Every structure is written in C-alpha cells, then in structure tokens.
Structure 1
Amino acid sequence: MVKKLIVDVDCGVDDAQAIMMALAVPDVQILGITCVYGNTSVENVCKNVLRVLKVCGRLEIPVFKGVSKSILGNVLSAGHFHGIDGLGDAPDPDAPGLELLQKEGAVSAIIRLASENPGEVSVVSTAPLTNLAVAVKLDPTLPQKLKNLYIMGGNTDARGNTTICGEFNFAADPEAAYIVLNECVCPTYLACWEFTCHSKLSWEFCDDWLAQDTHKARFMKKIFKHSMDACYSERMEKELVAGQGFISCDSYAMAAAIDDTFILESDYKAVSVELTGTYSRGMMIVDHLEILQKNHKACIMKKVDLEKFKELMMNSLK
C-alpha cells in the first residue's frame, strides 16, 4: 500500500537527509513539501527543498511556501550549525529558482491535501510546528482527516539543545507545539531530542554512507561538510555527547513514517508544552502521573531498529 505523506520542513541538512530517505522508498508518495522558517529563513528553506528535489530528479513534487515567523511573531535563532543558508553554505549556481514554488500557500495546501485524501495522509514535521498549528486553527476538522502525525521535536528529560530546557523546534514556537500536541488527536509519534542522541550512528558509518559513488552522495558530502566540521570541533574542544556520533535528527521521524516496524520500544503518554516558565518555556511536558487526564496519548520513541535505519540511510544516497 502506498504511504501518502505531507512533509513539513525548515530544510537544514538533516531535513534534506529525511526528504532524500523518503524519495528513495518506492511505496512512499510525497504529496507535497511545505516550508516554514527555522534552521534558516523560509525563503532559504524553499530554495533548499528545490535543490534537494533537483538532485533526486523529483522536481515534479509540489513545494509550498509557509509561515515566516512564530505565532507570536518571534524568531528564535537556530545558530549556524547547518550554515547560514541551511545547507552548509555550499551554494549551487544552477539551483532551481523560486518561480517553481506553488502559488498556493503551505497552510492552505496542508488543509486541501488532507481533505482530498481523508484518512490516508500522514504529516511528517521536522520543523517548528507553525504551519500545522495555523492549519488546525483554520480547519479544526483537520486532525480527524490525518492518518498519522510524525514529529521530530520536543524533549523528555528537560535537556534543551537551544534553550536551557527546550528543543529547538518546540522552543521556536511553543504556542504552535502546544496547539498541535493538544488538538491533533490522530496517532502521534515523537522523535524527541534525547532519543535521537541515544540513537546515534558511528562516524565510520557516516564515512561509508558519504563514500558512495553517486551524485546524491557527492551532494550530501558537500552540504554536510559544514556540520561535520562543527561536530569535530565540538568533539575535540568539549567532548559533547552529540559530537560522539552521527545524528540525523529528522530522519528518525521519517523512518518511522516509512516503516511501521522501525519503532521497537515506546512510551504512550499524554504530552503538552510549557508556555510560561522562566527557564522552561517551550519544554515538552510528559504526563507520567496522568494529571492532565487526556485520552490522547502520544507514542514517544524510545528504541528503534538501527539496522533498518542504516539501510534506509544508505539507500537514500544510491
């Protein structure tokens, strides 16, 4: 059975890796890619997605420009881990132009595509959740039309990667994350920050992955160099846990959407987002005591099949 996806991205290098992973799977159909601010400006995100699609020979997939800032109008800096342009500051003079974007906006596209395929479409979000949150507010029936929702975002142990207690995608727009987690009652799967750190691959695998003699691998090596250099520097200077292995954060959420058997262990818990804490704004709340009394429980990934993950990653660059 064909798996129909809407992919919502803030296309940095790991978003590109996730998109390429999905494009390499025959029974996955990407109905559209919606772009939102995050790792870089929404204009750069649109350019980056078009570059990825060109490399994969899939420019027929529609790309939609979305929201440029959070619901409250704030923009949280993602730093420059993925480069200022989001793809390692490795420009392509022959990159596709923005005239290839659809005229329709991302929020409208999410609502339309879900309405045209009720119960058949899953959303994979690897970015701040602003596009999806606005879509839910404009069409409160949207969650009932979605098959599944896969999110890279949030955190389970109050360990932030951008703020003290917040993972970037949630901290960038806490209100949007709150809306999505509390109003999207479709089956929801979370690849949280700490989980990705505990599910890292070796740098030796990364070397083999990039050494494939293909156009896609050469493209990935070019755009990934900036991030790999940053990881190497951090590993030498600070010995960070995240620097001790290869983490393609967004690809875990995509792998779960592609392969139902990818998730080996998980917790089903009610979740929400802190909106007002001095230090904890944007932190994901996991209701272990069931104080929230919510019927809808999210699937929080704990352990996944890393051999299947490696295979999906390798195939993405073939």
Structure 2
Amino acid sequence: MSLDVEMDLLRKAGLLLACAPPTYGGQGLGCNSDRHSVLTAFAVLRALGRASLSVARLYEGHMNAVKLVVLYASDAQKTQLLARLAEGQLWGVWGADGATPLSGSLISDTPTGPRRYMLHGQKAFASGLGLLDQAIVTFNKGPDGVALALVNVSEPKRQDKAAWRASGMKATWSGVYDFEGVQIDASVLIGKPGDYIKEPYFEGGIWRYCAAQHGAVEQIVRLWRARLEQRGRAEDPIQLSRLARARARLIAVYAMLRDACLQVETFVATKPSTGNFGLEDDRRNAVEMALLAREMTEEMAVVVMDDAKKSLGVEAHLPQSDLERIFRDLSLYLRQAGPDGKLLNAGRLYLAQSEERTRLW
C-alpha cells in the first residue's frame, strides 16, 4: 500500500482533524493538556509505529504542526487555519535547512498594505513531499531572529525527492523543498521569533517520535516471537531469554515515555506553583525526562534489534520482508539530530534541579 493511500485512510478515519482542539472540531490529540488526551495521543503514535514508521513519522509531524498553531497563533489565525483540518489538510514541520538556510527579507511594509516577505533558501529532510498541504517552517528573519510560518508546500516543481538517498524511511516521500522567491504575507507568521524553541514543548516534544519508535520495537518483538513459534524454536532456553529481555526493555521504556509525555503535555505555564517546587522546576524536569526517555528508547531499540537479528539469522536480513523493512526504517529514524547534545542537556537539567526534586522516592 502506498503512502498516499495510507494517509488518505487516516484522513477518512478523522485522525488528521483529531489533532485540533474540540472547539475546532477535533479531539485535542497532541494539543490538549488533560491526561486522557495526552495518553490517547501516545497510544495512537505507538499504534502507527507498529503499522508503519513512515506513516507514524508524517502523523507525528502533523500533530506537532497543529500543536505549534494552538500554542502560538492568534485567535484569529486559529479560527482561519484550524478550519483547514476539517477539509482534510495534512501539515508538517520542516526545521532542517538545505544548502542555503531559509531566510526571509521584508519586501512590502506600507500603511495600506500587508507586510510581505520574500523567502530565500531550501528545507532539507522535508518529509511528505507531494503529500503535505502546509508546513510550518523556520526561517531567519534577520535581526528579529528565527520565525515560524505556516506556508503552502504543494508546488511540485519545488520538490526534489531525488535528494533523499537514505536507505531507510524511503516511504516518507522526503527530500528538499526550494523556497527561493516564494512570497508570504505576514499573516502566516506564527507567534513571535523564539517561540519555536520554548520549553517544555521543543526538546520535550521528542516524546512523540519516541512513541512511534517504541511501537516499531513492539512490532519487531511480535514478529520475532511469531517466527520462533512457527519454527518450533520458541521454547529454546536462549531464545526465551532473549525474548524475555526484550519484553522487559519494552515495558521499562514504555513507563519512561508515558511519564515523560504526561509531564511535558500537562505542563501549564499559568498554573500556580505547588509544594516546594516552582514552574521552572516543573519545566526543567519535564524536558529532562523527555531527553532521558529518548536516550533509553534508542538504547532499547538497538539492543532489541541486535538480539532479534541474532535469533533469526539470515531471515532478518531478507529484502522486502516485514522485519527487514522495520529494521531498516527504525535504524535510520533513531538517528535524530544531535543525540550527544541532547544527552548533555539532560545532564545539565539534572544538575540545575535540587537534590530533593530529583529523588525517586
């Protein structure tokens, strides 16, 4: 099944609209701060990760884009933009720059007309080429810093899918999008410069792709178990030990991710401080937990894949098999930008908190 068909199935199931708040016709998946909405979003991303990492990657980007609009757009913008989700639009977030980093120069600023910007440069690793209707992009606005804009990315002539040469995640329809010469109205700018990297939603938001990755590892263990049972090898003591360790790692990381997503998504900057800790403590702790969960998700996935390959032998490497595809996609998807920096940041956040706050009992 091709990715456009799969995304259309999500559209028909109402999952694209579901990311919008209830006041705009959705269910608040990924943007509401109540526990039920957060845990439902967590479950959906894991379920999609079990089915297809490429689909999960695009849905996670859509959820992130809607979240950014809900967080930082004006009320008028929300009314206008979120209505497009009911039309079935698919959104994404493109942060990585191409050979020429994306920037914008002011070309019109008159009392009678709207402010307009001319964009220059490209976005790389742009997932969903030919599928996305809109993407939130970061661009350099000059002295004001890095800004966000929700822009149309449906022009085929600007899409370069051939630029995506990675062995995994091929079905994400990724590549380079050329924005050179695109003009945008200031009305599509979302929030203020600097909003994009506000915490706990920037680094903290990595729980979303970790949930998809966890789902993929769950599927590896399911398929691995099924293969062993089909061949009558499941009761072998070594195989049982490997499966049990994989199961233990899945459960442990599930608990970390569940806790991390709740801490990040239920954080509300306007709530009163409680107990001995203030909002900054809550913010730092939420981001630290998300970063640590990312580290443990990667470690768990690498070990489980290695054990599964040892257990299944050549079968794990046969091209076009379901397991080989997941191994290939997950091995690439795990390699998010700056993993060492993320781990160092987690350490700094730990040191910034009081010893009392970091107790586990």
If the length of structure 2 is used for normalisation, what is the TM-score?
A: 0.27
More helix as a share of residues: 2
More strand as a share of residues: 1
If the length of structure 1 is used for normalisation, what is the TM-score?
A: 0.29
Give 1 or 2 for the bigger CA radius of gyration: 2
More contact order relative to length (CA 8 Å, sep ≥ 6): 1
